[in-house]
Chains A and B, each alone.
Chain A
Amino acid sequence: MEDHDNLKATELTLGLPGTDAIEKPTPAAPNVNKRSKEEECCGFTGSSGRPAAKAQVVGWPPVRSYRMNSFRERKTEKKEEDSTGIYVKVSMDGAPYLRKVDLGVYNSYEDLTEALDAMFKGFSLGKRITQRQAHDLHRVAEGGDESEHAITYEDKDGDWMLVGDVPWEMFVSSCKRLRIMKGCEARGLTSSP
């Protein structure tokens, strides 16, 4: 068949008329981005004839492989934290569905409770929470409102803890999910283990 162009013009495709068949992008060579980053960021001015492409020499620099792994892991951890956020589920007793919040977005307990308030509008969350002072420990237990809720969280060990006892950063690093409990159930809670 000689008349390829004509045939191509009448060829049925799923693309919009006028667009050519889209070429599959060739996967970038694994080190390309890394190399250009090095060229941009390289602090060395006028280093003698160093080739732009840095071939990795076996066993150099002389750092043991387990140390390398910990650097790599720490970098990915940090990257994950920066880009994907710390999302935890939030359930509220009585609410038909759960929500998710990104703990990384907030800087304090006050910010968090404000956000939860807004999220579960119509359910009274009672007092705003700040980090508890020692004498606050039993306030919920001793006789809060019937309608008051307590915010609790599941920590890394699987224990359910009252929100507000520990410094904010420690809470963020150990919180796995949140549960907003009804006031009457919450009254049994203290924060001591």
Chain B
Amino acid sequence: MVGGFRWAAMFPDEVWEHVFSFLPADADRNAAALVCRAWYRIEQRSRWRVFVGNCYAVEPAAAVRRFPEVRAAAIKGKPHFADFNLVPSDWGGGAEAWVEAMAEGWPHLEELRLKRMVVSDDCLELIARCFKNFKVLSLVSCEGFSTAGLAAIAANCRNLRELNLHENEVEDNCLHWMSHFPESFTSLVTLNIACLEGEVNVYVLERLIGRCPNLKTLRLNHSVPIQRLVGLLHRAPQLVDLGTGKFAAQHHPELFSTLESAIAGCKNLKSLSGFWEAGPTYLPAIYSVMDLIEDDGLIAVAASCKLLQELRVFPSDPYGAAQPISLTEHGLVAISAGCPMLHSVLYFCRQMTNSALLTVAKNCPNFTCFRLCIMEPHTPDYITRQPLDAGFSAIVESCKHLRRLSLSGLLTDLVFKSIGASANCLEMLSVAFAGDGDAGLHYILSGCKNLRKLEIRDCPFGDQPLLDNAAKLETMRSLWMSSCSVTLGACRQLARKMPLLNVEVINERKRGLPLELQPDNCPVEKLYIYRTVAGPRSDTPSCVWILR
């Protein structure tokens, strides 16, 4: 731009900073930073929030240098399939390198959100010591720490607003960690301890809640009995989000009536979760179904929960017999017909039809997330015996804003053709036990222009589509393939051709020769490819090879 520097100097930096604060997405800020050196500098100094979707995509020190004034950081570690035990436990995703770099370069950090990372107690202690104005700690699906680490956070983070522990594996070695919150500590807004296995001292919790007038979210763990919940609710009538823990204490529906007055006292309650649910009149816009539900239950939900936005239905008996649970495609269709605001669905079932999916697609063109898991792999439409290509194709063609999709059932390459052609907003795709051959993967990689994450297991996809679409992989965050038909030779080629990709081959069985000496036609069990500017990482375990 001619005279770029001159016009940028027309306004003081603060004005440009203010302008940039209206840019909604990081991508927009990135674009602004490329306009001229002045904008780069101003934008750099005013970026307060960073999201690192893959902790290995960039060196921590580089991230800290690039944006020196960050106040809120979110970092993700392991690939999603780690949730289902497909990733070796020692694969990586350790948080130390990041926490050390942040302690050094972002002393004013206020918010840290980590997902699928290995967080040690040392990390928690470092966080507690180094960030004087720390406000938000959110650990989701993490592991490696104990309640002793939480005690350090409680003791030292004087301004903590949010402690969100969601689905972590936490060792319980410090029973009284909550007692470490000093009496002067009153700033808590969110407390989610649902995943903690150990006993919680309810007296300490009552006192803590009693002195935190801004507490909006409270999610308890299984150790808090219902009888004590009344006392907690009396001390926090301003609650908006309540979780009663992940286990059912006993199956006693009458308990609801005795708590009714306590709950009625919480006038702002919008969200309930836990092992039991209140009747439909209390249900919020977001609804977590944790108890046993069948088609009839979903039909009732469809009839009364007109504001329902997100539905998750998990299998009650994942390895058991197909009966007696009567949860079928009818429940899903009922929900799709009755809940016009529904945009996110996770649904496990044992049978499905194309016709049902077509109806769902027609009823819900606003889906942003559709995850259907038919429990038995390769299950066709149970009435027509056809593959479910037509049904899923209808979903992607109708739902123009679909960002996340999980497929299941019997599927041929045809469904991938539809997805590649129609799913223009799709960012994440999960595929299992589907497709006929290479063409399926090729359709995806050559289409889906916004694809960021692709995870595939047990599909007959081989080398050719990967090599033909190598450039695509650099536009994505990551690709996971396991139990497919990829060979070592293709991975080597890919690694040579694409220096900005880490091509990780995971081979847990370790038979015979080390990977460097294996022939090109050696099959690859698990493959994880991700773009990075950091080069090969240095913390790989023995079962992981990064090809160069």
Contact = CB atoms under 8 A, between A and B. Distances in A.
A and B bind: yes
A19 interface: no
Contacts of A73: 247
Nearest to A168: B254
Interface in B278-321: 314-321
B188 interface: no
Which of A57, A60, A65, A70 has the most C-beta atoms of chain B within 10 angstroms of its own C-beta? A60
A60 B379 CA distance: 14
Given A42-B322, A63-B348, A64-B167, A170 B375 contact: no
Contacts of B516: none
Given A42-B323, A71-B318, 16 more contacts: A38-B321, A41-B321, A47-B376, A47-B382, A57-B377, A59-B85, A59-B457, A60-B84, A61-B373, A62-B406, A63-B314, A63-B318, A70-B247, A78-B251, A168-B254, A170-B254
B319 A56 contact: yes
A63 B315 contact: yes
Interface of B is mostly: loop
A157 B379 CA distance: 50
A155 B378 CA distance: 51
A56 B318 CA distance: 10
Interface of B: 81, 83-86, 167, 169, 195, 225, 227, 246-252, 254-255, 257-258, 314-324, 348, 350-351, 373, 375-380, 382, 385, 406, 430, 432, 457-458
Nearest to A49: B378
Interface in A26-57: 37-38, 40-44, 47-48, 50, 56-57
B323 A41 contact: yes
30 contacts: A38-B320, A38-B321, A41-B321, A41-B324, A42-B323, A43-B323, A44-B322, A44-B350, A44-B382, A48-B385, A59-B81, A59-B84, A59-B85, A61-B315, A61-B318, A61-B348, A62-B83, A62-B84, A62-B430, A64-B83, A64-B84, A67-B314, A70-B246, A71-B317, A73-B247, A75-B317, A77-B248, A156-B227, A167-B257, A174-B225
Interface of A: 37-38, 40-44, 47-48, 50, 56-68, 70-71, 73-75, 77-78, 155-157, 166-170, 173-174
Contacts of B351: 44
B311 to A, nearest CB: 16
B172 to A, nearest CB: 14
